[in-house]
Structure 1
Amino acid sequence: MIAPTLLTQRATASAILVFLFVSVAQSASSFHPASTTTVTRPAVSGSCIPSERKALLTFKDSFWDRAGRLYSWRGEDCCRWKGVRCDNTTGHVVRLDLRNTDEDDWSNGLILSTSEMSPSIVDLHHLRYLDLSYNDFNFTSIPDFLGSLSNLRYLNLSAANFWGTLPSQLGNLSNLQYLDLAYSELISVRDLSWLMGLPFLSYLDLSTVDLSSERNWVHAVNKLPSLQVLVLSSCGLNNTVSTLSHSNLTHLEVLDLTFNLFSSPLAHNWFWDLTTLKKLFLYDCAWSGPIPDAFGNMSALESIVLHGTDLSGNIPTTMKNLCNLQELDLYDININSSISELMERLPKCSWNKLRKMDLHCANLTGELPTWIGHLASLSYLDLSENMIVGSVPDGTGNLTNLNYLDLSQNSLVGHIPVGIGAFGNLTSLNLGQNSFSGVLAEYHFATLERLEFLDLSSNSLKLDLHEAWIPPFKLKKGYFESCDLGPQFPSWLRWQTDIVVLDISNTSIKDDLPGWFWTVSYNAYELYLSSNQLGGALPEKLELPSMQAMDLSDNYLSGKLPANLTVPNLMTLHLHHNQIGGTIPACLCQLRSLRVINLSYNQLTGEIPQCSVDQFGFSFLVIDMKNNNLSGEFPSFLQNAGWLLFLDLSYNKLSGNVPTWIAQRMPYLEVLILRSNMFCGNLSNQLNKLDQLHFLDVAHNNISGSIYSSIRSLTAMKYSHTSGLEYLHTSWLDDYTGASISMSIKDQELNYTFQSTNNIMLIDMSYNSFTGPIPRELTLLKGLQSLNLSGNQLSGTIPNDIGILRRLESLDLSYNDLVGEIPSSLSDLTFLSCLNLSYNNLSGRIPSGQQLQTLNNLYMYIGNPGLCGLPLSTNCSTNRTNKIVQNEHDDASHDTTYLYISTSAGFVVGLWIVFCTILFKKSWRIAYFQFFDQIYDKIYVQAAVSKAVLIRKFL
């Protein structure tokens, strides 16, 4: 199938060439006389030649004709069949046009049903015109037998899904004047020497054909003396030559070498001597150096397209000789000059012919000159992103034919001259993304009756337009972002009934959204009204059949979502940051094209519609419904959201189990945020196979189970960047800024857009009911930047090799039941800026290290009485001595206790032995008491003697 990007690339060049030069190519040939368009019965038999009719029917049998394009191929007179033309004299078929006119849908064309195209076509010996373009030849080769159609003047096989090597037998078509093989990116050519067999060839288009192996392509093309149009866009060319000893291309008028990578100075090329050139397309070829002076020698030039190159510097003064110049495209060239100096170098002799001037992103400076009104013939002006200054001398002539002007993305300053309103033929005016200031009034638009495209965005402009003003133009596309259109809603928009794209975001409007706006926007496919102060309610019934993208975010809209929403083509819907209430209507289930929806930060209530699986959800890429009051269970329609990348249901009142089908039904999920709901259940098997997931936030729920099986398959976090499905991040999705992610780190909430999270890897499972240890497998997620497991019931130790997570910036394991020492590898985390290990049962010395010392916050260790060392006041050496003394004291206490116990036991035992003996043996009782009487007597006598001695001593 033909890539849309290729169609876009060719739109500005090759498509135009077909229309401009096909008539030239055909009028110069003999294969398309007037007689072939009016068919009369041939003199031979009253119908077409039977053998040729048979050949056509056999050729038809090679295809599936699903669209019935060959329905008319019946009956005897093949000259009346659709796509067939005969010579009105001989009856021979001279023209076969089977081109699929629906270039965007191959199903409406012919599809080859056999292994190759039927060779029966070679029986059409008088065939002069053959067009099989935009059909599906199912990756078969271009057949060699086409080289047998010796009378062919016109051959078009473009975009026909051929494959393989281009047959050199095409060089046998010595009468060929027109050859188109464009959009055949699966075709390659190693040798173009066969071109020398086509002396009458005037039109050659090999766009996207692989010519990278052909080193002598310039010399091969130089063998075509009749060539007028040469298109070699996107052919993989990477070499050229500086000069040709002798040029045979004396009739060449159009040269298109776009989208090749020559990576060489533009000045050194063979085509500067081609003074017959009228159109020169050289953009996106990696040319370098200054814009060559040789342009001055090509006086026949009408179009110069150089955008997307590495050229720099102002245009040469020799370009004043280009008196036929109609189109000048210097898009994205570093001119690095004031716009006044640039205008002085333009060929003033061509100002009355100039139709298009594109100076987008050309590093222009200064102010627009006041004489700009003299350029009133220009139909397109783009001055955005420049800084225009200075003035142009008198007598510069008129630009009355100018219809396209682009000055966007430059550094232009000052006011926009009143004379801009004199460009009566202007259809496209782009002044966006500059530094213009001042006021625009009605007279700035006085004669712009043909204006269809207007871009004034990203300037400091105030549009002071009367409420009753009726503009002379009807815009199709209008971009006014960051201009001042308020405070009232611009009433002049009421007359823009042809509008298809309108951007009035951030334009200082403080008014209710008028009802007539939806009538005016009926045919629009893009509306951007965000970041204003628009009030009022959305209509109950909203019918926008062409709408693809609508952004009403960051306003004060209230009321409810439309109960009857007819927007079948809607792909992106942004209503976040408003005051919309009520429930989400069931009509949302009908929006089968919806890819991005953001309803966050509103006042929505009730359940998310439980659309049937086959009814809704298959096309979603982004869903953001955070910060509402939604209730009910996890949305069941997400079972059909097989391409979903981003899901945020946080800060609602959703409940029930986290479903078991998340990984199976949403395998490409990159961001999953269920934070602050009432989900329960187990995540053990929910994240298995989510190898694209790099942002997981299920904090503040009641989810249980172990962590191990929830993180082991998160392979996207094993690297420093996500693998992602980059082809899903299409250009319109890259422009999407509604989905945002909040990360709570160090009591600070950091906000990121969806795009900027592509390299952010986070796991937040805090404040749930997870149990068990922190798995060692967690350290395999080497790309992880933030890990929060706080507020759970985790046990065991912190993995010793946690220091492997070198990109970790935030780690929170607080409020768990973790034990053991803090791993010393934690000091290896040089990016760590937030650490919280508080309120666990950790013990031992806190690891030292430059990064941990930089944090120096005792609160990240509080609640762990067994920890010591800085930044805590508990000294680990003192704490150790105290423990030893305490242990010795405990040992002494234990010994004393044992002594007392043994002594008491011995005393009791001894006492009872003596007591029992005396109690039961009379002789022992007598002896026992006699023993104590004797002891008493001795003590008494000894005491009396001692007393007498003392008395005598003191006397």
Structure 2
Amino acid sequence: MATVMDRNTTFVVLLVHCFLSLATLTCMFAYAGGNPNVLCKSGERDALLTFKKGIVDPYNLLSSWIGQECCTWKGIACDNITGHVIHLNLRNPYDYYDDFAIDDFYQSMLRGRISDSLLELKHLHYLDLSSNNFEDNHFPSFFGYLRNLRYLNLSSTGFVGTIPHQLANLSNLQTLDIHQDFYYMQLQVDNLEWLSHLSLLEFLDMSSVNLSEASNWLQVMNMLPSLSELHLSNCGLDKYDPIPYVNFSSLTVLDLSGNNFVNSTFDWINSLTSLVTLDLQYTEIKVPLLGVAVQNMSSLRNLHLSGNNFSYTIPKWLYNMTALERLYLSGNKIQGVLPKAIGCLSQLMLLDLSHNRLEGKIPRFLGNLCNLQHLDLSWNNLGGGLYDLLGNSSSCRTKNLEFLDLSGNRLSGTLPDQLGKHKKLYVLSLDDNMLSGPIPVSLGKLSSLRMLLVGYNQLNGTIPVSLGYLSNLEELMISSNFLEGLVSEKLFSNLTKLRNLDASSNSLTLQVNTNWVPPFQLQRLWVGSWELGPRFPTWLQSQKDLRELDFSNASISDVIPSWFWSLCSQFSWMDLSQNQFRGNIPSLSCGEYIVFGSNNFSGPLPNVSSGIMYLDLSNNSFHGSLSPLICEQKDKMGGNLFFLDLSKNLLYGELPNCWTNYSVLRALNLGSNKLIGNIPSSLGSLSNLDFLLLSKNNLSGELPLSLQKCEQLRIVDLSENHLSGGLSIWLGNSSSHLLIIVLRSNRFHGSIPQELCHFKSLQIMDLAHNKLSGTIPQCFGNLSAMQRQISNIIVYIFWRTIFLTLKGAEYELYENTFSLITSMDLSSNNLIGEIPEQLTSLQGLRFLNLSNNQLQGKIPQKINAMKLLECFDVSMNQLTGEIPQSMASLTFLNHLNLSYNNFSGRIPSSTQLQSFSAWSFIGNHDLCGPPLTPSCVGDDSPIEPTPNTNDEGSKDGGWIDMKWFYMGMPFGFVVGFWGVFGPLAFNKAWRSAFFKFLDGMKYKLFNGV
């Protein structure tokens, strides 16, 4: 009987087990979307279609939303039993943090307005609309009535305003993510009381939501006992109300980064016994107080303390936290050598000490951290070689290291061949150092490598073919080295995953077959300065994903093929400059950044796409009017264009007067063309303009007063035109920003305005070759940027060069040399009066040219205060008196011209002044001494006897003297000729002075001076 009962019991148990298994499987499949056997509820289908009508869908992500069966639509999942919609996922399919997909991310964003028709989805459990852009719409309050929601993700959706308290109705909610990555603090919360009703909440992320008014945030979080992850980064928090005890002790992840807790103790963290990850980076915490709170937390594995102030050292309490696995200390101003105590943290898997001030060699003890997988010491001042860290084959870390970033240091020496033994490395970043020698062949053994960054070093030799074995390589950056030689298609044969190739600024030559098809699909291709020509590379047409292209200085001499213009629509960044491309350019339907400068393009200016932001067509042969480009397309490209360079072309006609739509334009260069007429008043509407360059045209008329509205101007070059009028206060309020003003070779007249003295940032002022009169303003001595011995010119990366006349010749200054120049040129005007002694307070001034005026008086005695003066030219004036002895101490002086004045007395004796030629002093009749004359009158020197014709032998002696005179005439002519013209032929400084004198005389003759 018992046996029968046991059998019956076993049968029942098996039956129940089968039933439960079937039920479990049914429940599992109930959440699977796309089942064609489930009938969609018509009311819910209509609600979804109504929602779709309000959405702008540029990528057609909702193209499947047609027909009757909404359960098969993309992003929709239904309950397999009831048919109700329970899952709606319209998250952006691309990742913002993926560099390869950033353009797709922005283009695929859903936009528009979210309809409250979603309220018909009463059984919805899961809703995700994240990483879209619902353009400044307020956070929909009706979401609070979807009472069955368990998961709600509205992160990075562009909502604005206050988060509605109706979310308190979502009592079943387990995950709430409303962080805002891309629209910083457009959402806000006045009080977080509504959160306390979400008792089942396990995950909460409100990062970048403004919680500055919610001082009860910690009390509210303490009422959520199930909370395991809390993310409140960048929320404007700086205080909290204390809590008597900790109730949310199940917390494993706490992220409070990017707030300001300078006066907080964090003593409550001690009670979070389950805490695994603590993120307090950029919080201004008091490091000692934090140490008291966390140093005994045995559960803590991940500690983020980057971007705080560690008083230049790592706190000792960190060395006691031996259970730590990940430690982030970047950007803390930590200086000195890396302490050996770091080696005590034996469990470390990740160590980030980047962006500090560490010095010395990379310590060998790091090799004893056997669990270390991720090491980031980038952007410090570390020196020495790599052998101790990477070349020591006995290091136990050899088999574990996966991520190594040592970029931005001062490392030198060669790359050790033992690098090839680090088999797990997937990121190796050594760029921006001083490494030399060849790239080791052994790098080809790093089969896991995805990123290899060794650019901006001094590596030489050829690229080893072994790099072609890196079949997982996605990014290769070897730019700005001294690599040379041929690169064949064999190198790329296995690099099928390559997405980024940056190898520009090397002397490499690509040698492939004309029918070569690359095995990869690149998104970034930078091979500037390679030898790619003379024909345009046909293999480029196979690259369907290309976003950035640099073919600059690639020795290409060809017409761009027609297929390229259709391909270029996919580009966001393209540089074809410094080649010999020829022919016309059709409409440019390309992306944001286009540089076609320094080629042989011709024809009229092309039409460009609406998304263009940076356009450089300079130094070509484009001709015609500016109006079709500027005026006819102003509605299309005006809202985005911030840089426009059309200089050095053959453009003619008047400057168009339709600039009002170009409100974001920051740089405009139309120099070296054939433009005529007045500067239009609409240029004054460019309120964000930093750079205005219109030099070397035929512009005329007075400067419009509307330029006063250009308050951000930093560099102005209007030189070599026919502009006239006075230099009143036309620059208006730009005085606080102006760095460079060049107005030379125009017809400006009147006095130099006192308003120029307000330009405190001015470092280069060139008003030469005009008709300015009056005196030099004494307040020029207050130009504070010229007073500093270290220049502070800030030049934006999108402006590369400017031309400046120094020492009588035109120089092209590059962006990295702008800050080295301070100059004042007032030459070739009609200025009178004395040289103001106040100018000597300009201790940072390097170039001062006051020549060819009518200045009187003396050179200021305190001129030696101008310690950095390199060029001083006061020639062709009416200056008098002696040359100050103090000039002898101007040790940087390498160009001096005091010629054609009324100086008198002895030239001061010094190695410095006597090193100049006599041409620096000629035309001063009462000036004497070397190098102008051997001596001065009154110097003690022997006087040779004068021959007497009445002495005996005078008759014969006279004939001999005459004979030698005539015989010496040819020799004297030769010596005299080459004594004058020889230095002119071979000495640039003398030649410059001579022709400057001739120019000055011609100027005075023809201008009636």
Q: TM-score when scaled to structure 2? A: 0.66
Q: Give secondary structure in 1 for the equivalent of 2:784.
A: coil
Q: Give secondary structure in 2 for the equivalent of 1:255.
A: strand
| CA–CA distance in structure 2, aligned partners of residues 857 and 440 of structure 1 | 48
Aligned match for 1:753, one of 799, 804, 814: 814
| CA–CA distance in structure 2, aligned partners of residues 189 and 34 of structure 1 | 43
Question: Structure 1 residues 328-337 or 295-304, which shifts more?
Answer: 295-304
Asked whether 1:791 is paired with 2:828, we answer yes
Asked if 2 retains the 8 angstrom alpha-carbon contact of 1:559 and 1:582, the reply is no
| CA separation of 1:530 and 1:722: change in aligned 2, threshold 3 A | farther
Aligned match of 2:587: 541
| CA–CA distance in structure 1, aligned partners of residues 315 and 748 of structure 2 | 68
| CA–CA distance in structure 2, aligned partners of residues 495 and 47 of structure 1 | 43
1:529 CA displacement: 3.0
| CA–CA distance in structure 1, aligned partners of residues 85 and 277 of structure 2 | 38
Aligned match for 2:606, one of 558, 563, 567: 563
Aligned match of 2:651: 604
Structure 1: gaps of 5 or more residues: 1-32, 49-65, 85-90, 762-784, 877-955
| CA–CA distance in structure 1, aligned partners of residues 439 and 705 of structure 2 | 70
Asked whether 1:203 is paired with 2:253, we answer yes
1:632 CA displacement: 2.6
* Letter matched to residue 694 of structure 1: L
Q: Give secondary structure in 2 for the equivalent of 1:690.
A: helix
Asked whether 1:307 is paired with 2:343, we answer no
| CA separation of 1:276 and 1:646: change in aligned 2, threshold 3 A | closer
1:706 CA displacement: 2.9
| CA separation of 1:807 and 1:252: change in aligned 2, threshold 3 A | closer
| CA separation of 1:204 and 1:601: change in aligned 2, threshold 3 A | same
Aligned match of 2:39: none
Aligned match of 1:895: none
Asked whether 1:642 is paired with 2:706, we answer no
1:748 CA displacement: 2.7
Aligned match for 1:623, one of 650, 663, 668: 668
Aligned match of 2:192: 143
Aligned match of 1:329: 376
1:208-227 equivalences in 2 (<5 Å)? 208-214=258-264, 216-217=265-266, 220-227=268-275
Asked if 2 retains the 8 angstrom alpha-carbon contact of 1:379 and 1:423, the reply is no
| CA–CA distance in structure 2, aligned partners of residues 755 and 393 of structure 1 | 35
Asked whether 1:684 is paired with 2:684, we answer no
Asked if 2 retains the 8 angstrom alpha-carbon contact of 1:431 and 1:457, the reply is yes
1:188 CA displacement: 1.0
Asked whether 1:228 is paired with 2:276, we answer yes
Aligned match of 2:512: 465
Asked if 1 retains the 8 angstrom alpha-carbon contact of 2:439 and 2:463, the reply is no
Asked if 1 retains the 8 angstrom alpha-carbon contact of 2:125 and 2:151, the reply is no
Aligned match of 2:703: 658
| CA separation of 1:832 and 1:735: change in aligned 2, threshold 3 A | closer
1:450 CA displacement: 0.3
Q: Percent identity?
A: 26
| CA–CA distance in structure 1, aligned partners of residues 844 and 365 of structure 2 | 55
Aligned match of 1:169: 219
1:597 CA displacement: 1.8
Aligned match for 2:805, one of 744, 758, 781: 744
1:49-198 equivalences in 2 (<5 Å)? 68-69=113-114, 71-72=116-117, 77=122, 93=147, 95=149, 99-102=153-156, 106=158, 109-112=159-162, 128-134=174-180, 141-143=190-192, 146-147=195-196, 149-164=198-213, 166-167=215-216, 168-189=218-239, 196-198=246-248
| CA–CA distance in structure 2, aligned partners of residues 565 and 47 of structure 1 | 46
Asked if 2 retains the 8 angstrom alpha-carbon contact of 1:649 and 1:674, the reply is yes
Aligned match of 1:576: 618
1:285-304 equivalences in 2 (<5 Å)? 285-288=332-335, 303-304=350-351
- The aligned length equals 766
For residues 122-166 of structure 1, the C-alpha deviation after alignment (integer angstroms, 9 at most, x for no partner) is 566665544443385666545356456554433322111232464
Aligned match of 1:7: none
| CA–CA distance in structure 2, aligned partners of residues 505 and 735 of structure 1 | 17
Asked if 2 retains the 8 angstrom alpha-carbon contact of 1:372 and 1:420, the reply is no
Q: Give secondary structure in 2 for the equivalent of 1:631.
A: strand
* Letter matched to residue 229 of structure 1: T
| CA–CA distance in structure 2, aligned partners of residues 111 and 852 of structure 1 | 69
| CA–CA distance in structure 2, aligned partners of residues 745 and 92 of structure 1 | 73
Q: Give secondary structure in 2 for the equivalent of 1:734.
A: coil
1:755 CA displacement: 6.6
Asked if 1 retains the 8 angstrom alpha-carbon contact of 2:287 and 2:310, the reply is yes
1:629 CA displacement: 1.8
Asked if 1 retains the 8 angstrom alpha-carbon contact of 2:367 and 2:396, the reply is no
| CA–CA distance in structure 2, aligned partners of residues 393 and 666 of structure 1 | 56
| CA separation of 1:659 and 1:353: change in aligned 2, threshold 3 A | same
1:771-810 equivalences in 2 (<5 Å)? 785-788=823-826, 790-796=827-833, 798-799=835-836, 801-810=838-847
For residues 424-474 of structure 1, the C-alpha deviation after alignment (integer angstroms, 9 at most, x for no partner) is 111122233444444432222221100111222344444333333222111
Q: Give secondary structure in 2 for the equivalent of 1:522.
A: helix
CA RMSD in angstroms comes to 4.7
Asked if 2 retains the 8 angstrom alpha-carbon contact of 1:647 and 1:672, the reply is yes
| CA–CA distance in structure 2, aligned partners of residues 92 and 622 of structure 1 | 51
Aligned match of 1:255: 303
Question: Structure 1 residues 473-482 or 292-301, which shifts more?
Answer: 292-301
| CA separation of 1:487 and 1:195: change in aligned 2, threshold 3 A | farther
For residues 94-135 of structure 1, the C-alpha deviation after alignment (integer angstroms, 9 at most, x for no partner) is 6476654445xx3xx1412xxxx6666656666554444338
1:534-933 equivalences in 2 (<5 Å)? 534-544=580-590, 547-553=591-597, 555-566=598-609, 568-584=610-626, 586-589=628-631, 590=633, 591-592=637-638, 593-611=640-658, 613-615=659-661, 617-663=662-708, 665-691=709-735, 692-708=737-753, 711-717=756-762, 718-721=782-785, 734-738=796-800, 740-753=801-814, 756-757=817-818, 785-788=823-826, 790-796=827-833, 798-799=835-836, 801-818=838-855, 829-840=866-877, 842=878, 844-846=880-882, 848-851=884-887, 860=898, 862=900, 872-874=924-926
Q: Give secondary structure in 2 for the equivalent of 1:626.
A: coil
| CA separation of 1:143 and 1:695: change in aligned 2, threshold 3 A | same
* Letter matched to residue 658 of structure 1: L
Q: TM-score when scaled to structure 1? A: 0.69
Q: Give secondary structure in 1 for the equivalent of 2:749.
A: strand
1:435-584 equivalences in 2 (<5 Å)? 435-531=482-578, 533-544=579-590, 547-553=591-597, 555-566=598-609, 568-584=610-626
1:649 CA displacement: 0.7
1:358 CA displacement: 3.2
1:81 CA displacement: 11
1:208 CA displacement: 0.3
Asked if 2 retains the 8 angstrom alpha-carbon contact of 1:368 and 1:416, the reply is no
For residues 892-951 of structure 1, the C-alpha deviation after alignment (integer angstroms, 9 at most, x for no partner) is xxxxxxxxxxxxxxxxxxxxxxxxxxxxxxxxxxxxxxxxxxxxxxxxxxxxxxxxxxxx
Q: Give secondary structure in 1 for the equivalent of 2:629.
A: helix
| CA–CA distance in structure 2, aligned partners of residues 819 and 391 of structure 1 | 65
* Letter matched to residue 689 of structure 1: N
Structure 2: gaps of 5 or more residues: 1-29, 33-75, 87-110, 130-144, 763-781, 908-920, 929-1009
| CA–CA distance in structure 2, aligned partners of residues 290 and 857 of structure 1 | 46
| CA separation of 1:213 and 1:734: change in aligned 2, threshold 3 A | same
| CA separation of 1:389 and 1:741: change in aligned 2, threshold 3 A | closer
